[in-house]
Amino acid sequence: MKTKLLTLALSIFIFSAANAQFHLGIKGGANVSKITGKSFKEEFSSSYHLGGFAEIGLGSKFFLQPEVLFNQLQQDTSSQFKDIYQNVLSSNRSNIKLNYLSVPILLNYKASNFLSFQVGPQFGVLIDQNKNLLENGQEAFKKGDFSMLGGVQLKLASFRVYGRYALGLSNINDIDNKDKWKSQSFQIGVGIAIL
């Protein structure tokens, strides 16, 4: 009996997987981001993101969308940052660039054939930062960032147009515990399903 149930479950899984919608694609767009905290200017700066995505159907209304993105955050420091960390920045440098390998895992709800609402976590691994940020070569930013995403996506045949908001939940300050630094960004972009 157990063998029959296992065979039936496996058959249903294989049939469902064969009929499931699955797409792979590439995407890219603009980031409008900021790092909050006393050490940074309270204004947004522009940068970009590039990468790939997959769409895995989970029935008629839902699909999972994992992505892998090169994601850049750019931010100007405030004079307060320079005051707190004397001689931290070279005299001609007040702009910080953080390059992340980001992995969003989004659950999409299809409101119609064209419109989907997206929500899910994003895990970011810092792959590069300004190495001359601190005099002694110390790392200023933690190696990881965890965010929550929410947004919308329009599907026009193979093309995707999306807009989303990412709210950082992790404190990315690796210098001390005086100030909490968190990321925020708006992303807009386009993608194309190639498979």
Q: Which pLDDT value is given to residue 82?
A: 52
pLDDT given at position 65: 96
What residue ranges define each of the domains in the chain, with the CATH number in brackets? 21-193 (2.40.160.20)
Q: What is the pLDDT of residue 93?
A: 45
pTM of the model: 0.75
Least confident of 43-47, 52-56, 134-138: 134-138
The winner for highest mean pLDDT among 12-21, 59-68, 166-175 is 59-68
Can you tell me whether residue 75 is helix, strand or coil?
A: strand
- Find out whether 71 and 49 touch, Cβ atoms under 8 Å: yes
Token code pair at residue 4: 């029959």
DSSP codes of every residue in 125-184: EEEEE-TTSSTT----B-SEEEEEEEEEEEEETTEEEEEEEEEE-S--B-S-SSS--EEE
- Among the residue ranges 18-22, 94-98, 178-182, the one predicted with the least confidence is 18-22
- Average confidence (pLDDT) over 84-88: 46
pLDDT single digits (tens) 146-193: 899 999 999 999 999 999 999 987 776 656 666 777 788 999 999 999
Task: Tell which residue, 95, 83, 104, 129, has the closest CA to residue 27.
Answer: 104
Any residues with CB less than 8 A from the CB of 63 and at least 6 apart, and which? 21, 55, 56, 57, 108, 110, 116
**Burial bucket for residue 83 (CB in 10 Å: 0-12, 13-18, 19+):** exposed
- Going by the DSSP 8-state scheme, the letter that residue 40 receives in this structure is B
State how far the Cα of 58 lies from the Cα of 107, in Å rounded to an integer: 10
97-124 average pLDDT score: 94
Tokens of 185: 């960004």
Average pLDDT over residues 126-132: 67
| pLDDT score recorded for residue 33 | 87
Residue 105 pLDDT grade (very low, low, confident, very high; cuts 50, 70, 90): very high
Instruction: Check whether 134 has a pLDDT greater than 60.
Output: no
Find all residues with CB under 8 Å of 178, minimum gap 6, and list them: 84
Is the pLDDT at 35 greater than 80? The verdict is no
3-class DSSP assignment, residue 91? coil
- Of all residues in the chain, the percent with pLDDT exceeding 70 is 66
Q: What angle do CA 62, 64, 69 make, to 5 degrees?
A: 145
- Tell me the pLDDT band of 98, cut-offs 50, 70 and 90: confident
- Which residues 6+ apart lie within 8 Å of 23 measured at CB? 54, 55, 193, 195
